[in-house]
Amino acid sequence: MATLGALDRKLLRDLREMRGQAVAIIFILVAGVAAYVSMASVMDTLQHTLDRYYEEYAFGDGFATVRRAPEEVAERLGTTPGIVQVQTRVVAMVNLEIAGYDDQVAGLMVSVPGDRQPELNRLFLRTGSLPAAGRENEVLLNEVFAEAHGLCAGDTLAAVINGRRRTLQVTGVALSPEHLMQVQPGVLFPDPERFGVLWINRSALAAALDMRGAFNDVSFRLAPKADVRTVIDQVDLLLAPYGGQGAYARADQGSHRMITEEFNQLRGMAAVLPSIFLAIAAFLLNIVIARVVSLQREQIGVLKAFGYRDRAIGWHYVKLVLSITCVGTVIGMALGVWAGRALGTVYLEFFRFPYLEYALNPPVVVTAVLLTSGAALIGVMRAVRQAILLPPAEAMRPAPPSLYRQTLVERLGLRRFLAQPSRMILRNIERRPFRALFAVTGVACACAILVMGLFFVDSIDHVVHFQYGIAQREDLMVSFFEPAPTAALYELANLPGVQYAEPFRSVPVRLRRGHRSYQTGIEGIPANAYLRRVIDTELEPVPIPAEGIVLTERLATMLDARLGDEVVVEVLEGRRRTTRVPVSGLTQQYLGLAVYMEIEALGRLVNDGQALSGVYLLVDERYEDTLMQALRRRPRIAGILSQERAIRAYFDHAANFLLVYTLVLSLFAGIIAFGVVYNNVRVSLSERERELASLRVLGFTRGEIAYILLGESVLLTLLSIPLGIVIGSLGSDAYMKALETDMYTIPVVLTRGTYATAASVVLVATLISALIVRSRLNRLDLIAVLKTRE
Amino acid sequence: MAQEVIFRARGLSKIYDMGEVKVQALRQVDLELFAHEMVVFLGASGSGKSTLVNILGGLDTATAGEVLYRDRDLTRADDRELTEYRRHHVGFVFQFYNLIPSLTARENVAIVTEIACQPMTPAEALELVGLGGRMDHFPAQLSGGEQQRVAIARAIAKRPAVLLCDEPTGALDSQTGVIVLEALETINHDLGTTTAIITHNVVQAEIAGRIIHLKDGEIARIETNTRRTPARELQW
Ligand SMILES: Nc1ncnc2c1ncn2[C@@H]1O[C@H](COP(=O)(O)OP(=O)(O)O)[C@@H](O)[C@H]1O
Ligand SMILES: [Mg+2]
C-alpha cells in the first residue's frame, strides 16, 4: 500500500510535469470527440424529430392527384387492401398578389375540412387558428411563406382562383409535415417568396373549382405490412377513369424526397466526416501517448530494478494515460452536446420542425469512448511493452545514442548551402523518419479535413454556374395552364423586352424498364434549342436526337438502361398512351433527373398535335418589369418562374449553416493541427533540452536555438501541406461519391482559396505552438540541464 | 612582471533560494585570474567550485558582489550581453561532453566557428587535440576521451581568452584523463588561453601554476605552484 502510494504520488507529479503534452493530447481528444458527438447527435436528433413529427401529424404514406373524382371513390379507396385511412382534398395552383411585392407569386391552395384538423397531414398551428367553418375567404399560411412576406393573422392577400380574383384574410400561420420543404412542382429548390402553400376551407375551394362532392387530390395511410407497389397499382387502376395522374408513395413525395436528400447529405457531413475526424484523433492519440510514455523509459527501468512487476508498471501508465484521456473525452462530450444543441437549433430554423427533440444515442457515446480510450490504451501498451522488454540496466540508460548520418540532401552535394543548424534540422528529421512521418501525417490529416470541409461552397457555385450558365440559359420560364397551340410562342416572342423565345413541352410520365420504374416528366425542346441545352458527359452542349429520349446518366443507371436500349414510357395525362422508346442519348446534369426529347417527337408520342406547355424567354433587363406586368395579365399563364432566383434563394439560406459547419470544422481541424505540432515540439524539447542548453552555453542566442527546434516543425508542416491537399482531394472525391443522390451529384471543385485557407489554418496552428514552446525555451535553465547525467 | 588581470571578483556571493531553505554556495569571494595562466580550483564536492566558474563564464549570476571580465561588468549584464560574451570570449568544457549527437566531430566544432569572429578552422582545432584523423565521425562513434577532446577543440576553436573546464576528466579513466589534460596543457601553452580547471583530485592540481582551494563557498587559500608537473607524468 505504501509503495502504491509512492507510485500514485509519482503519477500526480508526472501529470503536472507533462501538463504541456497532456494539454496537447486533451486538445486532440476534445476536437475529435466534440466534432463527432456534435454532428452525430445532430443527425440522430433530426431523424428522431422527423419520425415523431410524421407520426404525430399523420403524414400520408401515399398520394395521388386526379382530374375530378366523386367523393364515393374515396370509400372504394378505403376498402382497397393495404389502405387503412383515406383523406380526400381539393387542391389548386393559384396566382397570388401580395401588396408591395411585384414578382409573380404562385400558391398551392389545399383544402382543410373546415373548423377541424384533417385526419391525415395535420397542421401544426404556429399562430392564429384554422379558417372558421363557413368562412369562404379565410386562409392559413405556411410559415416560410408568411415570413418571407411578413404576413400574419389579420393581413390580407389576393388570389386568382380559377380566373376569379378574391381577397383572402389570413387567420394564422402553420407548419405541415407535407410541406417541410415547400417546393413548387416543377422547381428544384424552395423559394418562399415566389411560392407558398395556403390552406382554405374545402367548401370554399370546392365552390370555386366546381368540385362540390368531389376531390382532385387524395392521400392515404398504409397498413403496417402493406406492399406499397401493389397498393399504388390498385389505386392507379381505381383512379384512372377519373383522370388519375399516377399515385406515388411517400418516398416520391416532393417535400419528403427533398428532406431525405438533405438528410443523406447531412448524414455524409455529420457522420462520415466526423467519424474520419474521430479516427484521426484516435490515431494521433495513440502515437502521441506512445511517445510520451517512451520518454519515461529510464524511470520504467528504475521501477523494474526495484522489483516492480511488469503488470504494476503497465497499470501505472494506464492510469496515467486514462486520467488524461478521461478529462479529454468528458470535455469533448460536453462540448459536443453543447455544439450539437447549437447546430440543432440552426437546423430547426432551416427545416422548420415544430419542435426539436435533442437525442444523443448511446451508440454515439459508446463509439466515442471506446475508440478514444482504446487508441490510448494501445498506445500506452505499445510503449510500456517496449520499455519492459529491455533488461532494467539497459532501460535505465537513455535510449542508445542514435547514429546520425549525413542526410540525402547533403549526400546530393547540397551540403555547402546548409549551415550547421539547418543540417541539424535535416539530420534530426532523417534520423527519426517515423516521427517525422507521424508529424507530417497528423498535420496533413488536419489539412485534409479542412479541404474536405471547405470545397463545398465552391462546388455549389460551380453547379449553379453550370446549370444556369450552360444548360439552362433562359431568364424566365412561362408555363401555361393547358397545353397551348404553337401560336402562343409567337405571341410571347413579340412582347416588348423579349429577346428570344423558345417553346417547351413537359409531359408527366412513368418510365419502366424491367422491374425498375421512375416517375418523372419528359421535357420536349426544339432540335436547335438555344436556351435549354442538352449537355453531354464531356460537359459540351450537343444537339438533341430527332427520335428517342435522352436520359440523365444517373437516371439511366437507375433504370439500368444503356444507349440504344428501349424503355417503356407510360404517359400520365391525356390519352395515357404506353409506348416503347429507344434511349438515344445520355446527358450529364448535376441537379435533377431530367428526361429530354425533341419537342415534335414528344408531340407524336403523346399524340395530341404540337401543343406547348410553356415558353422559355430571354429578356432584356430594362423591360423586365413591363414584361412581367404584360405576362401577368394573360389568363392562360399559370406561372412565370426564374429558376436561378429560386436556387440562389435556397443556397443563400443553406449558406448559413454551411458557414457554421465550415467554421466548426476549421476550428476543430486547427485544434488537431495544434495538438499534433505542439506535442511534437514538446517531445523534441524534452529530448533535446540538453543539446539546446549546450548550444546556449556555446554562445548561441535564444533565436538561434529556437530556429533549430522550431525550424523542424515548420519544415514538417510545410511538407505536410501538399500531402494534406492530396489526401483532402482524394477524400473529397470519395465523400462526394458517398453523398450522390437521385436529385443531384455535386462535383468536387477545389480552388486556390480552399488550399490557401487549409494551409493557413495549419500554419497558424504551427506558429501558435511554436510561440508557446519558444517562451519555454527562453526559460531554459542552462546549468541544471548540464548538471544532469547524459 | 606585472600580470594582466582577466577576471576580478569582489565580495562575490551566491545564495540558492529554495523556499524554506537557502543554500549559500559562495560567501564573499574575492579573486583575480591572470591572462595566460593555468589555474585549478580544488575542493570537496559541494564547496562551490561549479557555482564560481559558472558565474565567471556568464552561465549564472551572483546574488551579491561583482565580477569584471576585463572592463566588462558581468554582474549587471542581461541575457543578450551574456550570450554575446560567451559567444566570443569563453570556452567551456564539462564533465559530460555535451556534444551535439547529430553533428560530426568537425561539425560540432564548426557550429562554434560559424558564429565566431576570427576562429581557427575546425580541422586546426581538432589537430590541436590530436583528433585530426577522426573528424568525420559522429559522437556515437567516438570513445569518451575522444568525445571530450572534441569538446575541447569546440571550446577553443574560436580562440577564446578563457577556457573554463568543470571536472573535464570526471567521467574518464585515469589514462584517458591524462590525454585530455595534455590537450588542455597544449592549448594553454600554444595559444596562451587562460585556463581554469575544476577538479577534486589533488594529483591533477599539480599541472597548474596556481591552485585555488575552496571550502564551504569560501577561498580557503591560494597556492602558487612553482614546480608544475607535466600532465603526462601524473598518475592517480
Ligand atoms: N541549482 C541549485 N539549487 C540549490 N542549491 C544548489 C544549486 N546548485 C548548487 N547548489 C548548492 O550549492 C552548493 C555548491 O554547489 P557547487 O557549486 O555545484 O559545488 P561543487 O561544484 O563544488 O561540487 C552545494 O551545496 C549545492 O548543493
Ligand atoms: Mg561541481
Q: What is the pLDDT of residues A75-97, one digit of tens each?
A: 999 999 999 999 999 999 898 99
CA distance B105 to B101: 9
Partners of A524 in the beta sheet?
A505, A597
Q: Provide, as residue numbers in chain B, all residues whose Cβ is less than 8 Å from the Cβ of A784.
A: none
CA distance A247 to A136: 30
Binned at pLDDT 50, 70 and 90, residue A537 comes out as low
φ and ψ of B172, to 5 deg: -120, 155
Q: Taking CB atoms and an 8 Å limit, are A697 and B98 in contact across chains?
A: yes
The DSSP line for A492-556 is HHTSTTEEEEEEEEEEEEEEEETTEEEEEEEEEE-TT-SSB-EE-TTS-EEPPPSSSEEEEHHHH
Say if residue A698 is in the same domain as residue A743.
yes
Q: Mean pLDDT lowest for which of A314-318, A496-500, A560-564, B196-200?
A: A314-318
The cell numbers describing A49, all together, are 424529430
- String of b and e for A491-506 (b: at least 16 CB within 10 Å)? ebeebebbeebbbbbb
> Which of B80, B136, B69 is closest to B108 using CA atoms?
B136
Nearest to A402 among B59, B96, B101 (CB): B101
CA distance A182 to A173: 14
Q: Which atom of ligand 1 is nearest to the CA of B49?
A: 22
Q: Mean pLDDT lowest for which of A161-165, A344-348, A652-656, B177-181?
A: A652-656
C-beta neighbour count of B84 within 10 angstroms = 15
Q: How close is the Cα of B144 to the center of ligand 2, in Å?
A: 19
The arithmetic mean of pLDDT across residues A685-692, rounded, is 81
Q: Taking CB atoms and an 8 Å limit, are B92 and A698 in contact across chains?
A: yes
Q: Are A97 and A151 in contact (CB under 8 A)?
A: no
- String of b and e for A331-355 (b: at least 16 CB within 10 Å)? bbbebbbebbbebbeebbeebbbbe
- Computed over every residue of chain A, the mean pLDDT equals 83
Q: Provide, as residue numbers in chain A, all residues whose Cβ is less than 8 Å from the Cβ of B54.
A: 783
Mutate to test the interface with B, among A402, A404, A708, A778 (most CBs of B within 10 A): A404
In degrees, rounded to 5, the angle at the alpha carbon of residue A31 between the alpha carbons of residues A28 and A36 is 125
The arithmetic mean of pLDDT across residues A728-733, rounded, is 88
Tell me which of A641, A658, A674 is where a domain ends: A641
Q: How close is the Cα of A444 to the center of ligand 1, in Å?
A: 47
Q: Provide, as residue numbers in chain B, all residues whose Cβ is less than 8 Å from the Cβ of A424.
A: 100, 102-103
Q: Provide, as residue numbers in chain B, all residues whose Cβ is less than 8 Å from the Cβ of A691.
A: 98, 100-101
CA distance A412 to A404: 17
> Which of A69, A108, A107, A113 is closest to A87 using CA atoms?
A113
Full domain range(s) for residue A181: 64-254
pLDDT at B114 over 70: yes
The arithmetic mean of pLDDT across residues A558-570, rounded, is 91
pLDDT at A647 over 70: no
Q: What pTM, to 2 d.p., does this model score? A: 0.69
Instruction: Tell me if residue A33 falls in helix, strand or coil.
Output: helix
Say if residue A480 is in the same domain as residue A547.
yes
CA distance B23 to A514: 95
Partners of A472 in the beta sheet?
A532
Q: Taking CB atoms and an 8 Å limit, are B101 and A404 in contact across chains?
A: yes
Q: Taking CB atoms and an 8 Å limit, are A699 and B101 in contact across chains?
A: no
| Cα A622 off chain centre by | 38
Kindly report the nearest CA distance between residue B178 and chain A, in angstroms.
Answer: 22
CA distance B230 to B227: 10
CA distance A232 to A239: 10
pLDDT in tens, A490-530: 988 888 889 999 999 988 888 999 888 888 889 899 988 88
The arithmetic mean of pLDDT across residues B164-182, rounded, is 90
Mutate to test the interface with A, among B51, B54, B111 (most CBs of A within 10 A): B111
Tell me which of A210, A231, A254 is where a domain ends: A254
φ and ψ of A754, to 5 deg: -60, -50
> Which of B208, B236, B235 is closest to B224 using CA atoms?
B208
Q: Taking CB atoms and an 8 Å limit, are B141 and A782 in contact across chains?
A: no
Q: Confirm whether A345 is domain-assigned.
A: no
Domain count, chain A: 3
ipTM: 0.78
Say if residue A205 is in the same domain as residue A101.
yes
Say if residue A583 is in the same domain as residue A683.
no
Say if residue A616 is in the same domain as residue A721.
no
Say if residue A539 is in the same domain as residue A599.
yes
Ligand 1 binding pocket, CB closer than 6 Å: B 16, 18, 23, 25, 43, 45-51
Say if residue A519 is in the same domain as residue A630.
yes
Q: Taking CB atoms and an 8 Å limit, are B107 and A421 in contact across chains?
A: no
CA distance B217 to B63: 13
Which of residues 144 through 163 in chain B touch A, CB cutoff 8 A? 154
Binned at pLDDT 50, 70 and 90, residue A119 comes out as very high
| Cα A504 off chain centre by | 33
Say if residue A550 is in the same domain as residue A629.
yes
Tell me which of A223, A254, A285 is where a domain ends: A254
Burial class (CB in 10 A: 0-12, 13-18, 19+), A358: middle
pLDDT at A542 over 70: yes
Q: Are A525 and A546 in contact (CB under 8 A)?
A: no
Domain ranges of chain B: 37-60+88-233
B203 in reach of chain A (CB within 8 A)? no
Q: Taking CB atoms and an 8 Å limit, are A690 and B86 in contact across chains?
A: no
The arithmetic mean of pLDDT across residues B83-107, rounded, is 86
φ and ψ of A282, to 5 deg: -65, -40
Sheet of B210-215: strands edge to edge? Answer: B90-93, B162-166, B194-199, B38-42, B210-215, B218-224
The superfamily CATH assigns to domain B37-60+88-233 is P-loop containing nucleotide triphosphate hydrolases (3.40.50.300)
Please say whether the dihedral angle defined by the alpha carbons of residues A174, A175, A176 and A180, taken in this order, is positive or negative. Answer: positive
Q: Confirm whether A387 is domain-assigned.
A: no
> Which of A492, A497, A463 is closest to A643 using CA atoms?
A463
Say if residue A495 is in the same domain as residue A636.
yes
Say if residue A104 is in the same domain as residue A69.
yes
B16 in reach of chain A (CB within 8 A)? no
Q: Confirm whether A533 is domain-assigned.
A: yes
Q: Taking CB atoms and an 8 Å limit, are A691 and B98 in contact across chains?
A: yes
CA distance A413 to B196: 41
Partners of A484 in the beta sheet?
A612
Report the percentage of chain A scoring pLDDT > 90.
25
pLDDT in tens, A230-284: 999 999 999 989 988 889 999 888 889 888 877 877 777 666 666 666 776 677 6
Collect residues with CB below 5 Å from ion ligand 2: B 50
CA distance A138 to A166: 11
Kindly report the nearest CA distance between residue A14 and chain B, in angstroms.
Answer: 21
The DSSP line for A6-26 is HHHHHHHHHHHHTHHHHHHHH
Q: Are A446 and A670 in contact (CB under 8 A)?
A: yes
Say if residue A197 is in the same domain as residue A88.
yes
Kindly report the nearest CA distance between residue A399 and chain B, in angstroms.
Answer: 12
CB within 8 Å of B29: residues ≥ 6 apart? B9, B11, B12, B13, B48, B52, B65, B217, B218, B219
B69 in reach of chain A (CB within 8 A)? no
The residue whose CA is least distant from atom 2 of ligand 1 is B16
Task: Report the residue of chain B nearest A693, measured CA to CA.
Answer: B98
C-beta neighbour count of A509 within 10 angstroms = 30
Q: Which atom of ligand 1 is nearest to the CA of B45?
A: 23
Kindly report the nearest CA distance between residue B157 and chain A, in angstroms.
Answer: 11
CB within 8 Å of A300: residues ≥ 6 apart? A313, A384, A387, A388, A395
Task: Report the residue of chain A nearest B87, measured CA to CA.
Answer: A699
